Amino acid sequence: MNMKPKKTGGGSFVEQLQNNSVPIMFILICAVCIPISGFSPGYLVNEIMTRLGRNAFLILCLMFPIMAGMGLNFAMTLGAMAAEIALIFTADWQIWGIPGIVLAMILSIPISVLLGAFCGQILNRAKGREMITSYMIAFFMDGLYQLLVLFMMGPVIPILHSSLRLPRGYGIRNTVSLLHMRQSLDNLGAIHIGGVKIPVLTLVVIAIFCLFIVWFRKTKLGQDMRAVGQNMDVARDAGIKVERTRIIAIVMSTVFAGLGMVIYLQNMGNISTYSSHKQIGMFCIAALLVGGASVDKASIGNVFLGVILFHTMFIVAPATGAKITGDSMIGEYFRVFASYGVITVALIMYETKKRMAKGKIGQRLQLAQSEEESR
Amino acid sequence: MKKIPMRTLLFRVGAVLLLAVIAYSMTIIGRGHTVYMDSKRLDYNGQTYETPYKVVVYVNDEQVAKLYDKERGMSTWIGQNFSMTLEITQKKGGTEETQEVSLTLPRNMDGIILNLPALLAGLPEDAYLSEFVSAPEEEEKTGDEGITDEFGLTTTEELPAE
């Protein structure tokens, strides 16, 4: 008989409150800010829907490294860089609309695979310190990206259109227009309900990705990833190639981050060549954590709750700041503070929980030892 | 080193080839063009082709231009098979005549100028179609060449002139 452990309510009320403290805090912030901001419900829903379509795919790509116990992948920026490079080529070759998006996605894949494999190799040498290492890799690769885009595009890598090049003749301009690609995916099959635009095709793509993740968890590779995530030594003893599995997790995350970045940028309609990718990892991770995920546990539900809460705060915070203090910059500061703060809180909570769990095990061992001695 | 099974290898190669084929087909079907329609008198082989009084241009059932003499309209088009509908009024106060025009755009041209009198007269491609070449840009001193830092601030340092 297949005996599955029954899921219980998940502890006491206080425990539940502790576990969900971050989403609860953000629900409270939103509940306070929304009425003060004075935005109409229609406007808010429309904005949230736009941001859901824009960001959800990117955040979902963080699931694979968490599954493999590698924490929050700050190096998803690498995928974003790959997507930007692909989009620069697509814009230069004048491939517009949906074909342009598809081409950019395909072009980003090999670049993402290479960068992801490189990142995975490094992270395998920094086991237990994956997050800080991936964070530094993102910075280091940003330097290489700038070298490529600022100095090699033009003289080494042909860029045909002067509208993309800097006036000096080489390097790419600060902003690359994706006007002819703008919202092509979002507008195709979009429906309007009560003034709210629902980007059906984008949501379908996100839904397919969610289904893929659900399916992937049940595959051999998915099970291996979860086993590696729980305990690397046990997984290794069970015959799982731990290093290879971890590299695959990072490669998958990077590739999907690349695809997600294409979706993100087609919605925006332009690339900030030197800064689009920089904050994306931070904001995606913050959104995931706001949704109630932790460093070692995340679900698809966390992604959607996170996008809704985090971006609601993003929308209402400046207006609320302006209403309360007369300066919208206060709201801007607050949202930057909140996004970085939530990451810090999540990391502290993760470490505290780990230490508490260790402490409990130690106490039990001590108790068992003293019982044995008393006999 | 572990040998990869033939089936896996074939599957991988097939996947890469499929992606390459899709990517190539996207470069063809997604090639964007800016089409400029000129209502401009043309002298070709010693003959003069006069402009109609008014031409209204529709692309994808959307009016993109209403052109009188010496005027230029513009539209964007994805792919090579361009089609437009022209509502032509030859003389002021005259009747409108509708004409469907379909033509194949050259893939290597971003901007294409169509001379409407030549096109309507059924002249060969070299008479009605030419490449749009934008005027060389003047060097901007907008600081566009600067790099933004993590706070979104732009450096104002001048880059060495080439």
pLDDT digits 0-9 by tens, A303-337: 999 999 999 988 888 888 888 888 878 877 877 88
Interchain CB contact of B18 with A (< 8 Å): no
- Total beta-carbon pairs less than 8 A apart between chain A and chain B: 80
B124–A contact, CB cutoff 8 A: no
Classify residue B154 by its DSSP letter.
Answer: B
Chain A: nearest CA to B109, how far in angstroms?
10
CA distance B27 to A331: 44
Closest listed residue to residue B110, CA positions, set B127, B125, B131, B137:
B131
* CA-based nearest residue in chain A for residue B149: A275
Asked if the Cβ–Cβ distance from A174 to B144 is below 8 Å, we say yes
The pLDDT of residue B137 is 62
In terms of pLDDT, which residue wins out, A347 or A299? Answer: A299
Q: In what order do the strands lie in the sheet with B111-115?
A: B71-78, B32-39, B111-115, B129-131
Q: Kindly determine whether residue A173 and residue B144, on different chains, have CB atoms separated by under 8 Å.
A: yes
Instruction: Tokens for A297, please give them.
Output: 């546990």
Per-residue pLDDT band at A372 (split at 50, 70, 90): confident
Nearest chain A residue to B27, by CA = A95
Average of pLDDT values for B26-30? 94
- R_g over Cα of chain A: 23
**Is the C-alpha dihedral spanning A133, A278, A253, A351 positive or negative?**
positive
> B145–A167: do the CB atoms touch at under 8 Å?
yes
Within 10 A of A352 (CB to CB), how many other CB atoms are there? 10
On chain B, the residues whose CB falls within 8 A of the CB of A179 are: none
Residue B150's pLDDT is 46
Q: Using CA of residue A249, residue A252, residue A258, residue A259, what is the dihedral sign?
A: negative
Tokens of A14: 């206080």
Give which of A19, A67, A66, A72 is closest to A353, Cα–Cα.
Answer: A19
Burial (CB < 10 A; 0-12, 13-18, 19+), residue B150, is exposed
**CA B24 to CA B37: how far, in whole Å?**
29
Max avg pLDDT among A163-177, A253-267, B139-153: A253-267
* Smallest Cα distance from A103 to chain B, Å: 5
**Closest-CA distance of chain B to residue A368, Å:** 47
User: Buried b / exposed e across A81-120, counting CB within 10 Å, b at 16+?
Assistant: bbbbbbbbbbbbbbbbbbbbbbbbbbbbbebbbebbebbb
Please give the pLDDT value at position B155: 47
Rounded CA gap, B142 and A8, in Å?
A: 62
Nearby residues of A37 by Cβ (< 8 Å), 6 or more positions away:
A315, A316, A319, A320, A323
Structure-token pair, residue A185: 């995916």
Total length of chain A: 375
Q: Are A134 and A123 in contact (CB under 8 A)?
A: yes
Q: Does the ipTM surpass 0.90?
A: no
The answer to whether the beta carbons of residues A247 and A65 sit under 8 Å apart is: no
Question: What tokens were used for A95?
Answer: 């491939």
The mean pLDDT of A158-171, rounded to a whole number, is 91
Average pLDDT over residues B11-35: 95
**Residue A308: predicted pLDDT:** 94
- The answer to whether A94 and B108 are in contact (CB under 8 A) is no
Our CA-based measurement puts residue B14 at a distance from the nearest CA of chain A, in whole angstroms, of: 15
For the record, the structure tokens of A245 come out as 């599995």
> What average pLDDT does chain A have?
90
Residue B38 Cα, gap to closest chain A Cα (Å):
23
Phi, psi (5° rounding) for residue A293?
A: -75, 165
Q: Do A180 and B76 touch (CB under 8 A)?
A: yes
Q: Please write the tens of the pLDDT for every residue from B34-68.
A: 999 999 999 988 899 999 999 999 999 999 999 99
C-beta of residue B113 within 8 angstroms of C-beta of residue B132: yes
The pLDDT confidence band at residue B161, using thresholds 50, 70 and 90, is very low
**Torsion angle of C-alpha atoms A152, A155, A158, A162, degrees rounded to 10:** 100
CB contact under 8 A, B139 and A95: no
Tracing tokens 């005259």 back to the chain, one arrives at: B94
- Rounded to 10°, the helix A77-92/A130-147 angle is 20
- Say whether pLDDT at A73 is over 70: yes
Is a pLDDT exceeding 50 seen at residue B158? no
Q: How far is Cα A151 from Cα A295, in angstroms, rounded to an integer? A: 37
Q: Which residues in chain B have their CB less than 8 angstroms from residue A99's CB?
A: 26-27, 29-30, 78
Which of A98, A105, A106 has the highest number of chain B CBs within 10 A, making it the mutation to test binding with B? Answer: A106
pLDDT at A347: 77
Q: Which of A118, A155, A158, A371 is nearest to A247 (CA)?
A: A118
Residues of chain A found within 8 Å of residue B78, distances taken between Cβ atoms: 96-97, 99, 180
Q: Which of A93, A97, A161 is closest, CB to CB, to B78?
A: A97
Mean pLDDT computed over every residue of chain B:
85
Chain A closest-CA separation from residue B60 CA (Å)? 15
Nearest to B78 among A96, A150, A275 (CB): A96
Contacting B with CB below 8 Å, chain A residues are 93-100, 102-103, 106-107, 109, 146, 150, 161-162, 166-169, 171, 173-175, 180, 272, 274-275, 278
pLDDT tens, residue by residue, B58-99: 999 999 999 999 999 999 999 999 999 999 999 888 889 999
Task: Tell which phi-psi region holds residue B133, choosing left (phi > 0), alpha (psi between -120 and 50) or beta.
Answer: beta
Contacts of B84 (CB under 8 A, 6+ apart): B37, B57, B58, B59, B64, B75, B100, B101
Check if the beta carbon of residue A101 is closer than 8 Å to that of residue A185. yes
Average pLDDT over residues A247-265: 97
* % of chain A beyond a pLDDT of 90: 66
pLDDT at B140: 52
Average pLDDT over residues A222-228: 96
Reported as a single tens digit per residue, the pLDDT across B132-156 is: 987 766 655 544 545 554 444 444 4
Is A274–B31 a contact, with Cβ atoms under 8 angstroms apart? Answer: no
Out of A108-112, A141-145, A250-254, B144-148, which region has the weakest mean confidence (pLDDT)?
A: B144-148
Nearest CA in chain B to A168: B162
With CB atoms and an 8 Å threshold, state whether B140 touches A167: yes
Q: Between chains, do B162 and A168 touch, taking CB under 8 Å as contact?
A: yes
Instruction: Determine the distance in angstroms separating the CA of A373 from the nearest CA of chain B, rounded to an integer.
Output: 53
Phi, psi of A82 (to 5 degrees): -60, -40
Residues of B in contact with A92 (CB under 8 A): none
Q: Angle, nearest 10°, between helix axes A300-325 and A21-37?
A: 40
pLDDT at residue B138, rounded to an integer: 60
Q: What residues of A are in contact with residue B110 (Cβ under 8 Å)? A: 94, 161
- How far A107 CA lies from chain B's nearest CA (Å)? 8
* Inter-chain residue contact A180 with B23, CB threshold 8 Å: no
Question: Could you please report the per-residue DSSP string of B114-152?
Answer: EEHHHHHTT--HHHHEEE--PPPPPPP-SSTTS-B-TTS
Beta bridge partners of B82: B103
